[in-house]
């Protein structure tokens, strides 16, 4: 402000020197003063505007720092929760077993798959997210001969048409088990449903005291807006100290 006033004084002195040679020095001085005051007001307005912008910038900076701190706290909280979840011995066993099972499924090694199923309970095969008591269950050699058994089985009914799903085990595998590369699915969850549609997903209530690992694709063709999602869920139950595969559930959008 002192600098602005001194500049104003110099400007006024120059005006007085110049107007001393005019016929109306008083009028010239008055006009010069008015112009100087107008210029001073403009300078003051600009200075005020700059101060407001600076204050706003500082406020935005403070808010950004606060939001970043809150976000970091949330990330840390989620990381702690994930660490606690994965530290659970049962969860670790089930996740490892699920990855092994998916490798067996991808390799069509159902003899090995039989080895991680309970001999008496077997594996229930559900073509859709709603698990039904009528879904077929295979045990023992009924699992290991999945790709050599020529018999045709009724695995339920097709969504939409209601036609019977009459297929050999090998054909069922191609249509309702490994119809996508689930071993390399981009999303895997433990006890968390990823794929949802208009059909009830009931495996959590159907299989008591169980753990489910889901291998999920959100979709393939953007034009379908996610309606072409696919999932394969592997359900495990505990027998004594061991977790066993009891269910293979295929998930997709239904009508």
| pLDDT, tens digit (0-9, with 9 covering 90-100), for 125-182 | 999 999 999 999 999 999 999 999 999 999 999 999 999 999 999 999 999 999 999 9
Inter-axis angle of helices 89-106 and 25-87, to 10 degrees?
A: 80
Mean of the per-residue pLDDT values of the chain: 84
221 against 55, higher pLDDT: 221
Provide the CB-side half-sphere exposure for 91 (13 A, CA): 11
For residue 75, pLDDT beyond 60: no
Helix (H) or strand (E) holding 249: strand 242-252
Is this structure's pTM higher than 0.75?
no
pLDDT, position 39: 77
CB 63 within 8 A of CB 207: no
Phi (first) and psi of residue 228, to 5 degrees: -105, 30
Under the banding of pLDDT at 50, 70 and 90, the label for residue 74 is low
- Across the range 8-17, mean pLDDT stands at 49
- Across the range 57-65, mean pLDDT stands at 66
pLDDT, position 5: 44
The rounded distance, in Å, linking the Cα atoms of 184 and 254 is 23
Q: Any idea which of 12-21, 74-83, 222-231 has the lowest mean pLDDT?
A: 12-21
């Amino acid at each position: 402000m002192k600098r602005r006033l001194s500049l104003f004084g110099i400007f006024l002195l120059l005006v007085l020197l110049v107007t001393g040679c005019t016929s109306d020095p008083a009028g010239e001085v008055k006009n010069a003063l008015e112009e100087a005051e107008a210029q001073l007001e403009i300078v003051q307005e600009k200075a005020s505007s700059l101060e407001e912008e600076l204050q706003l910038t500082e406020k935005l900076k403070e808010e950004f720092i606060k939001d970043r701190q809150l976000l970091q706290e949330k990330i840390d909280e989620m990381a702690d929760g994930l660490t606690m979840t994965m530290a659970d011995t049962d969860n670790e066993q089930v996740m490892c077993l699920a990855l092994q099972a998916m490798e067996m499924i991808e390799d069509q090694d159902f003899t090995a798959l039989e080895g991680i199923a309970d001999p008496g309970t077997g594996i229930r095969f559900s073509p859709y997210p709603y698990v039904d008591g009528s879904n077929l269950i295979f045990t023992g050699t009924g699992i290991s001969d999945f790709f050599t058994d020529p018999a045709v089985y009724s695995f339920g009914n097709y969504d939409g048409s209601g036609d019977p799903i009459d297929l050999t085990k090998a054909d069922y595998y191609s249509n309702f088990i490994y119809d996508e590369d689930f071993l390399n699915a981009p999303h895997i969850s433990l006890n968390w449903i990823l794929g949802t549609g208009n059909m009830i997903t009931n495996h959590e209530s159907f299989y008591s005291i169980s753990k489910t690992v889901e291998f999920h694709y959100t979709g393939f063709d953007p034009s379908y807006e996610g309606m072409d999602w696919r999932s394969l869920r592997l359900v495990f139950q505990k027998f004594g100290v061991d977790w066993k595969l009891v269910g293979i559930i295929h998930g997709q959008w239904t009508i």
